[in-house]
Amino acid sequence: MSDSHLTRAQQLIGDFAPKLVELTDDVLFGDIWEREELSPRDRSLVTVASLITSGSTEQLHGHVARARANGLTETELKEAIIHLAFYAGWPKAMSAITVAKAVFAAAELDARF
């Protein structure tokens, strides 16, 4: 299978931790993210907020991009990060806003070409 057909988890750790890839792809993204009780937009907002509060900036980039694809606007994400600064801490918010800025800048660049 070519890299373009692999999930992100398969690309990152498929050869090292196949069970974690299976759980990520089948349970987390195959089941949990597909449940109808929350919209994909709401799941993205909850996930981004959780990643910010835990300081998980490595995963934040992909989830901010997913949030954007799921309908959250740049303004909404910035406002969520500003709001979380008072609950999660200023350094976490500053790190998150830097990630969000990069994601939206890349999307804007992609839209031009």
Domains and CATH numbers, the chain: 1-35 (no CATH), 39-113 (1.20.1290.10)
pLDDT in tens, 70-111: 999 999 999 999 999 999 999 999 999 999 999 999 988 877
Q: Are 84 and 56 in contact (CB under 8 A)?
A: no
- The more confident residue out of 109 and 56 is 56
| Mean pLDDT of the 3-14 span | 87
pLDDT at position 112: 77
Distance from C-alpha of 113 to C-alpha of 79, rounded to nearest angstrom: 28
